[in-house]
Amino acid sequence: MKRIQQSVYEQRGVSSTKADIHQAIQNLDKGLFPGAFCKILPDILAGSPHHCNILHHDTAGTKAGLAHLVWKLTGNLEAVAGVAVDALVMNTDDVGCVGAINGLIVNQAIGRNGFLIPGEVIQVIIESAERFCQMLSKWGVPCFFAGGETASVGDIVRTVDVGSSVVVRMRRRDVIDASRMVPGDIIVGFSSTGRATYENEDNSGIGANGLTNARHDTLRPLYRRYRETYAPEMSKKLVYRGRYKIDDPLPQDSKFWIWKALLSPTRTYMPLIKLVLENVNRRHIHGIIHCSGGGQTKIVKFGRHGNRYVKKNLFPVPPLFQMLQEVSGLLWKEMYQTYNMGHRLEMAVPDNETANELIAISRHFKIDAQVVGEVRPKLGPGPNKVVIESPYGTFEYL
């Protein structure tokens, strides 16, 4: 049997496509709106035929391991505060993509190695989650922190694992169903960098995806002595093989240290989504996509069968992603499939007038926005396709 060549990401035990996971769940019920960005259930909580429920879960991934490393090296608890935000945003913004923007109840789950992670670290993570919910509520997205569970499970967690869940009830008629994306639609992208009006500091754009590659390709071999921060099964030649120390400045953007750029908290777009849905008729929003796992190819899973998503006017690649490509040697095609590369939210709308409304609303929050592409009919039979026309080549993804 011919051996399939694994990517570096897969050799590190992770995957941007999660093909095996998608195969494992392919026979599960897809919910009331099979084409929606996340699974939507009947109103189990109250039994209304006009409402629906969403229960969503995600984690900060290996970004938490990087936060542990930085905290060990610097003693700076700020390094671990952001992972609570990462875990929450990966949930709140997913449900925001189906139009759920009111009455979010969030729960936090922390697994720690009790030999390495003291209570002061856990306290910072919990308090950071609560502050995030308070911030969303302040900006018009009612969010309630219900608490959670912290388990000391050193037998299975090497450092700390931070996850969260969100539950929300909404009207079925308000659901944004991404299956409505059709040829002729315009795709508007919303920047992942800069400083939104509701953020306290500049954002590098990193999000919470691709951090396994990012930290091992960026940081120097001297960090290999912190063995708890990487899987012992990984080939040593793939462990911390970069050229930078955590306190080196980020090339082309010296306002960030390397660690600050890599641990920059994942931007939430919920205040933006809230204002959009209050001012733009929902029937004009054909789909909202959170470009998390899969990066710029995430959209390929949604929309009418046979769509071709052509992205030909993407944002300039931010300095962090330019650095990551340089140190990793990843092909640009894989970079666009692993990272958001400059925008982590996009909306599909039917006309330029609606697109301009979205851009104006985004600028209200000091978030750059622009038309990044369009939906075209697919050429020939087969599944949806993404075409990225970049300065580094044209790439196609199924």
Q: Is residue 3 part of a domain?
A: no
Q: What is the pLDDT of residue 6?
A: 64
Answering whether pTM is above 0.85, one says: yes
Q: Using alpha carbons, list the distances in angstroms from residue 385 to 12, 67, 289, 296, 380.
A: 27, 36, 15, 12, 11
| 330-357 burial code (b ≥16 CB/10 A, e <16) | bebbbbbbbbbbbbbbbbbbbeeebbeb
Q: Is residue 152 part of a domain?
A: yes
Q: What is the mean pLDDT of the chain?
A: 93
d(CA 222, CA 199): 33
Q: Is residue 1 part of a domain?
A: no
Q: Is residue 12 part of a domain?
A: no
Q: Is residue 338 part of a domain?
A: yes
Q: Which ranges of the chain have pLDDT less than 50?
A: 1-4
CB 217 within 8 A of CB 241: yes
The 10s digit of each residue's pLDDT in 115-157 is 999 999 999 999 999 999 999 999 999 999 999 999 999 999 9
Q: Is residue 14 part of a domain?
A: no
Q: Is residue 2 part of a domain?
A: no
Q: What is the pLDDT of residue 29?
A: 84
Please give the tally of structural domains in the chain. Answer: 1
Give me the sheet containing 104-112, strands edge to edge.
Answer: 41-42, 51-59, 160-171, 104-112, 143-152
Q: What is the pLDDT of residue 24?
A: 66
CB 165 within 8 A of CB 126: no
Q: What is the pLDDT of residue 202?
A: 96
Residue 383: give its domain's CATH number.
Answer: 3.90.650.10
Residues written for the chain: 398
Q: Is residue 227 part of a domain?
A: yes
User: Domain containing 373: what range?
Assistant: 30-397
